[in-house]
C-alpha cells in the first residue's frame, strides 16, 4: 500500500497538539461514535454482527496511533492493511465512510465540547477523510482481487 501524504502541515500540527485530549477522551469518543452511527444509520448495524465486543477500543487505539504517527505514516501501514482486510470481509463500502465520519466528528464535538476549537474539528475532518481515502482505495483493490480470484476458481472448477 502506498500512502500519498496529502495532509497539510497545519492539520498535522493541530492533530499533534490534540494528542493529550485524545489520550484522555479517545475511548469515550469511540463509544459515542458507534452509538451515533447505529442511531442515525441503523442499516449499518448488521455489518458489525461478527465484530469483537471491544470494537470501540480498537477504534480508539487506531485513532491514537494515527495521531501519534501523523509525521511517520509508513509506521501505520500494517495497521491500515489489517483494518482494510477486516472491512472487506465485513462488506464495508465507500458510501459508509461519510456516515462513519459524520458520527465520529459529532462524537468529537459532543465529548470535547468547548475544548474542541474550530481549528481542531477542521484538522480532524481533514485527517478523517485523508485516512478514509486510503482505506477506500485499498479496500477497492482487495475486493477486485477477491472477485478476480472467485472468477478464476469458477473457471477452473
Residues serving a catalytic function are 97, 139
Among the listed residues 90, 102, 125, 142, the single contact to ligand HEM using CB under 6 A: 90
Residue 11 found at the interface with ligand HEM (CB under 6 A): no
Among the listed residues 3, 21, 47, 142, the single contact to ligand HEM using CB under 6 A: 47
- What is the rounded distance in angstroms from the CA atom of residue 38 to the CA atom of residue 85? 22
Q: Which three cell numbers stand for residue 135?
A: 482505506
Residue 1 found at the interface with ligand HEM (CB under 6 A): no
| Phi/psi at 122 (5° precision) | -65, -45
Residues 139 and 92 sit within 8 Å (Cβ to Cβ): yes
Q: Which three cell numbers stand for residue 45?
A: 448495524
57 vs 155, which CB is nearer to ligand HEM?
A: 57
Residue 92 found at the interface with ligand HEM (CB under 6 A): yes
Burial of 110 (0-12, 13-18, 19+ CB in 10 A): middle
Residue 97 found at the interface with ligand HEM (CB under 6 A): yes
Among the listed residues 3, 58, 64, 77, the single contact to ligand HEM using CB under 6 A: 58
Residues 29 and 60 sit within 8 Å (Cβ to Cβ): yes
Interface residue list for ligand HEM (CB under 6 A): 44, 47-48, 50-51, 58-59, 62, 82-83, 86-87, 90, 92, 96-97, 100, 128, 131-132, 135
Amino acid at each position: 500500500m502506498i500512502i500519498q501524504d496529502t495532509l497539510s502541515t497545519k492539520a498535522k500540527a493541530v492533530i499533534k497538539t490534540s494528542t493529550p485530549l485524545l489520550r484522555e477522551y479517545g475511548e469515550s469518543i469511540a463509544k459515542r461514535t458507534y452509538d451515533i452511527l447505529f442511531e442515525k444509520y441503523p442499516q449499518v448495524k448488521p455489518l458489525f454482527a461478527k465484530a469483537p465486543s471491544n470494537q470501540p477500543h480498537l477504534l480508539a487505539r487506531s485513532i491514537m496511533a494515527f495521531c501519534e504517527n501523523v509525521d511517520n505514516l509508513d509506521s501505520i501501514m500494517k495497521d491500515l492493511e489489517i483494518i482494510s482486510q477486516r472491512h472487506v470481509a465485513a462488506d464495508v463500502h465507500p458510501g459508509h465512510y461519510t456516515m462513519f465520519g459524520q458520527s465520529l466528528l459529532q462524537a468529537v464535538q459532543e465529548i470535547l465540547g468547548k475544548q474542541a476549537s474550530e481549528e481542531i474539528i477542521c484538522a480532524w475532518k481533514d485527517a478523517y477523510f485523508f485516512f478514509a481515502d486510503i482505506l477506500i482505495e485499498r479496500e477497492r483493490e482487495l475486493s477486485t482481487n477477491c472477485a478476480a480470484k472467485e472468477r478464476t476458481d469458477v473457471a477452473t472448477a
